[in-house]
Amino acid sequence: MLARFLLQFLRHPLNTGAIAPSSRALARAMVRGLDLHRASAVVEYGPGGGAFTGEILARLRPGALFVAIENNPAMYAAFRARYGRLNAVNDSAANVGAILASLGASHADCIVSGLPWASFGGRLQDELLAATCAALRDGGRFATFAYLQGLLLPSGRAFARKLAGCFAAVERSPVCWGNLPPAFVYRCVK
């Protein structure tokens, strides 16, 4: 997976936004506090090869709706090869509302995002955040990670300000130093 990931980074650096899949420690930090065992509908954005997916699935109750949205066809194919039985679409997270509707859900209880927000321009950040807020139910939870060095970038700092504007509560996890590169999680409640 590492070689495939690196290749996708070289081909699509801004869309991939990372040179390696996330670590297990970051995956665990991503799902902490989400109450996934109570959720009826959960969405994962940008699963890549599925670094967070196993931790999500391990906490879902039977019958809960899960859908992964991955816009890179090569990453999507890798994800399908690993998790063929799951709902997954090769599409942009910007279409999360229509994707949930096509599966019979009006809103998500939780959205777990693997998107590289600091690599995105302001307009794409706005589009994806607006779609995310519209797709989450009131009180729904949103978890997304950021690389520590992303806080040095104007786009990373702008994203943090936008989260504070979109959500009723935003918390930052401790830094996960074992991840390559070190990262932390934003835990947000709508």
Binding site for ligand SAM (CB under 6 A): 15-18, 21-22, 45-48, 51-52, 69-72, 75, 92-94, 114-116
The residue at minimum Cβ distance from ligand SAM is 46
- If phi > 0 it is left, if psi is from -120 to 50 it is alpha, else beta; for residue 35 that is left
Least distance to ligand SAM from the beta carbon of 47, Å?
Answer: 5
Q: Is 28 or 169 the residue whose CB approaches ligand SAM more closely?
A: 28
Closest separation in Å from C-beta 157 to ligand SAM: 18
88: left (phi over 0), alpha (psi -120 to 50) or beta: beta
Angle at which helices 122-135 and 154-166 pack, to 10 degrees?
30
Decide whether 17 or 156 has the Cβ nearer to ligand SAM: 17
Q: Which is nearer to ligand SAM, 2 or 168 (CB)?
A: 2
> 């990372």: which residue's tokens?
18
Cα angle 24, 26, 27; round to 5: 60
Min. distance of Cβ 154 from ligand SAM in angstroms? 19
For residue 144, how many other CB atoms are within 10 A of its CB? 22
Select 70 or 109, whichever has its Cβ closest to ligand SAM.
70
